[in-house]
Amino acid sequence: MATADHSHGPDSALEQRVAALLARMTLAEKIGQMNQVNAGEGVSVESLREGIRAGRIGAVLNAVDPESVDALQRVAVEESRLGIPLLVGRDVIHGYRVVLPIPLGQAATFNADIVRQGARIAALEAAAAGINWTFAPMIDIARDPRWGRIAESLGEDPYLASRLGAAMVEGFQGEDLAAPGAVAACAKHFAGYGAAESGRDYATTNIPENELRNVYLPPFRAAVDAGVATLMTSFSDVNGVPATANAFLLRQVLRQEWGYRGFVVSDWSSIQQLAVHGLTAGDTDSACEAAIAGVDMDMASGVYAAQLEGLVDSGRVGIEVIDAAVASILRVKFRLGLFDQQPGRATRVPAVAIDERLRIAKQAALQSVVLLKNEAGILPLSKANTQSIAVIGPLADEPYEQLGTWIFDGDRSLSVTGLQGLRDLVGGAVEIRYARGMETSRSRSTAGFYEALEAARTSDAVILFLGEESILSGEAHCRADIGLPGEQARLVQVIRQAGTPVIAVIMAGRPLTLTNVIDDFDAVLFAWHPGTMGGAAVADLLFGVESPSGKLPVTFPRAVGQIPIYYNQKRGGKPPSPETTVLIDDIPVRAPQTSIGNTSYHLDAGYKPLFPFGHGLSYTTFEYANLRLDRTVLRIGEALTVSVELKNTGRIAADEVAQLYVRDLVGQVTRPVRELKGVQRVRLAPGEAATVAFRLHSDDLAFFGRDNKPIVEPGEFHVWVGGDSEAGLRAAFRLLAAGAAQ
């Protein structure tokens, strides 16, 4: 889907309208456009009327009642001097009324099409309430699962986050941003927020420029190229300068290098917080630093409204800074078509039947669930061979908790829980014995364990719904210990005593450390927080209506001490291997002081994760064979085709997500051991084979070199194709300079 894009290419008619309106505006009205105020619960239309009428407010957020939104727009359009409509923003992160899996779960689909469809239905539902701006997608690269906001992210990989982030932008904005049902997207948080120290929200980030450009910025560039209307700054300090005052990011990279023409909004009160960081002495200096750095709109703090006029009068902020910011804001409002429509736009949003919205939510949930383990093929269960199941756990029947973080408007009455989904699927064919076991995921009480154990003893299989409540992830909900909270691990041990096969369904907003319980499970479905239709999807997967096809978009550590652990790490000078690593229990007592292999790993955890990036099992088996390159030598500017034979060697039809990885063996800056460069979701019938082909262009091998400029460097490359980031099927090719002889 190609989004109409004026974000980094001027449209003459649009620019004429922007310039004409800007020329009519007073300084106070210009500053008003740069001011966004909270219009949420407890804030009345009347309390905002005078500010809007006087042109002191250009945007509101958190107004979700259609009548109130319409009333606010009427004041702006009909009662203010210039009639400039309002932007109406809301956090529509992974659905509005109908909730899809959390973004990290959507990333596990590795499917840009389903992500795009999900964003589209969210946009339509939100637009029907009068919302025209969403603060999504969040495309921060997240390598630390302790960070609460990893739930909102698209994982650890720049390629995957770039593809899926662009798809979200396209879904929210549609092909024409002015069309009814489209909302302006906002790529956040620019930039490097996911690298917060120790996974603590709002903490400092220290990211070398080369890593910033090679890892953290590519998803934002992809969003800009997809036409994203707005960007939001990060709360965090980036290399000593908070992102909200970081001219390197906002002026040099975003405006000068990328040519971006949308606008930049601060995060909530992040301009005012510049003084808390210690960058400024107070609001006046904070407003000055943010405006000069390139923040066009102040979210919620009121600092711009109070300080900018004086800063312009004193000459500290030039009028050209104000004009550029306001032009960027007006440009987005024109692109949205707000000036060409009367208030009441929400009533013209195309309706989508609830059945279709729920179908997309279920499809996203089905493709997001990752089968981590399936010993002896215990799954799928069979109605014919299963007389009874015990459904146990604090998250088995929680319609709210399965929706996940940041779902202010989600309709929990639409939720199908795991227990309800199983009842709907099996009917009377299988007896279901339900025991909650624990009141909440955090509970320390064991009072419900006996009832749960009895249910397990008298059933053919146990389905344990475990994980985190939704409030345990998301903004400001970071955890130092990312194991199962409360007494869940003890519950697992008790249930295991029944001798009944134990199947875990884990709902969480992040990867969890499961090392202490993984051996007690016969099978594990990791369902993230799967949204409205999560229970229906899980039931279908448990009983084989569909086969799991999700893949991990983030590495699962064995222990917190391994963090950060991610697949695309650098090799280092002493890389570990099975031959050079010795675990702590294998070291002889009073061993001589040696370096034990001289390699980089943890004595008590090794060097491998519990589950690698890209991992995800199926109810069938897939065989990769005959990896071929149509050429083994190419020049810069050319492309090659990588193909592999993929065969379903099992007995059921299923999807496989084939993944292409590349390694640049020698570079002027060291390169990762592997990098994802291609993804294809393929459905095969039992016994069916297909040729899966990837096009790899020399541009796909580009990186930022020692001078932090993009470069495509000749050299030797390895390429792998397989079902996860540890794929073993490998080929090699050589890249030559454009005019070089072979």
For residue 624, the cross-strand partners are 646
3-state helix/strand/coil string of 82-120: CCCCCEEEECCCCECCCECCCHHHHHCCCCHHHHHHHHH
Phi, psi of 698 (to 5 degrees): -60, -30
For 696: left if phi > 0, alpha if psi spans -120 to 50, otherwise beta; the answer is beta
Residue found by looking up tokens 């989004």 in the block: 3
Kindly write down the DSSP assignment for every residue of 488-499, as one continuous string.
HHHHHHHHHTT-
To the query of whether residue 283 is one of the catalytic residues in this protein, the response is: no
Q: Which among 676, 28, 6, 584 has a CA at the least distance from the CA of 333? A: 6
Q: What amino acid occupies position 742?
A: Q
- CB of 394 closer than 8 Å to CB of 465: yes
For residue 41, CA distances in Å to 65, 122, 408, 478 come to: 10, 21, 12, 26
- CB of 484 closer than 8 Å to CB of 514: yes
Q: Which among 192, 213, 210, 218 has a CA at the least distance from the CA of 669? A: 210
Number of H helices, E strands in the chain: 19, 26
Gap between the Cα atoms of 514 and 504, Å rounded: 11
- Taking CB atoms within 8 Å and a gap of at least 24, the contacts of 276-281 are 277/237, 277/242, 279/241, 279/242, 279/245, 280/245
Structure tokens at 501: 């096969």
For residue 662, the cross-strand partners are 675, 719
Structure tokens at 615: 């991992």
Structure tokens at 291: 């405006």
| Helix, strand or coil, per DSSP, at residue 143 | coil
Q: Alpha-carbon torsion 122, 123, 128, 130, what sign?
A: positive
Of 157, 267, 397, 655, catalytic: 267
Gap between the Cα atoms of 585 and 566, Å rounded: 25
Gap between the Cα atoms of 596 and 17, Å rounded: 70
The CA-based dihedral angle spanning residues 250, 251, 256, 257, taken in that order and rounded to the nearest 10 degrees:
-40
Instruction: Kindly calculate the radius of gyration of the chain based on its CA atoms and give it in whole angstroms.
Output: 27
- CB of 463 closer than 8 Å to CB of 503: yes
Q: Known catalytic residues?
A: 267
